[in-house]
Amino acid sequence: MRIAVAADTGSTADLEAALAEFGVLCDPAESIGELPSVVALSGPYDLVLLRIGQPLRTVLPALRDLRRRGMTLPVILSCTSLVVPEEEEAALHAGADDVAFHPLRLPVLHARMQAMARRARGYASAELVCGNVTLDQEQHAVMVDGKRVNLTAREFDFLETLMLHKGVLLTKERFMSRLYADSEAPDSKIVDVFVCKLRRKLTAAGAAEIIRTVWGRGYVVFEPSAHAIEAARQTRQPDAEPAPRGWVRRAPRFLAVPA
């Protein structure tokens, strides 16, 4: 998840560091008024998170201005000051999508952010489904016909990005901006590597092809036909038999030998 962050007073550095532990990339704006420029120049983003320390009513004009300027991203207000019900109601009318109050556990805030990003793209639950592939954000698991597929954390994040944008062409640059901070970003060829590994693992588990290459542009997840799903199930590779205790499994052309 990649978000834009701003505060009415002070720095958001501590919040950014805490959210990074949940895999959230944060791009800070120096002020709430600069958010439209940050979103336009550095996006795309999943949502906007505003940390509010002053009385909530003081930031409502800035929030209304964001909406008047065309910003359609979901907005969460994280309020550290006391908020009365009338102010909360006014904030929602002014353009906020959710208001969170301190003290707030970060796992709860992260779950709210995930839920909001899903609903913004038409998903009703934490299970993202395409063909016979299910990605469960809550369990951090990928299943094919109910059977778990072993993915690395980066492979999971990559597939999650694709499935959250089903039907949308994603360029390599967009993947890189969502999955890596600038300081740790590898060569963009890593995107092709992720696609190759995901296709191999999902195909072995009996998944229909859901990742389509648009040559020279990027990748897109699409909904396979019922016929394609059934055909893929017939090619599912059986699980390998566990090696006898104390033995090492070799390539097929070699005999197993004692460890």
DSSP letters, 114-173, are HHHHHHHTT--SSEEEETTEEEETTTTEEEETTEEE---HHHHHHHHHHHHTTT--B-HH
Same topology between domain 2-120 and domain 127-234? no
More confident residue, 81 or 200: 200
Task: Using the predicted structure, report yes or no on whether residue 251 has a pLDDT greater than 50.
Answer: no
Q: Which residue has the tokens 């908020």?
A: 83
What are the boundaries of each domain within the chain? 2-120, 127-234
**pLDDT tens digits for range 98-149:** 998 888 888 899 989 988 888 877 777 788 899 999 999 888 899 999 999 9
CATH of domain 127-234: 1.10.10.10
pLDDT value, residue 182: 61
Under 8 Å CB-to-CB from 30, ≥6 apart: which residues? 6
Query: Per-residue DSSP letters for 82-101?
Result: ---HHHHHHHHHHT-SEEEE
Q: What is the CA radius of gyration of the chain?
A: 22
Fold entry, domain 2-120: Rossmann fold (3.40.50)
User: Which residues sit opposite 247 in a β-bridge?
Assistant: 258
pTM (2 d.p.): 0.60
Band of pLDDT at residue 73, cut at 50, 70 and 90: confident
The strand pair at 257-258 and 247-248 is best described as antiparallel
In three-state secondary structure terms, 24 is coil
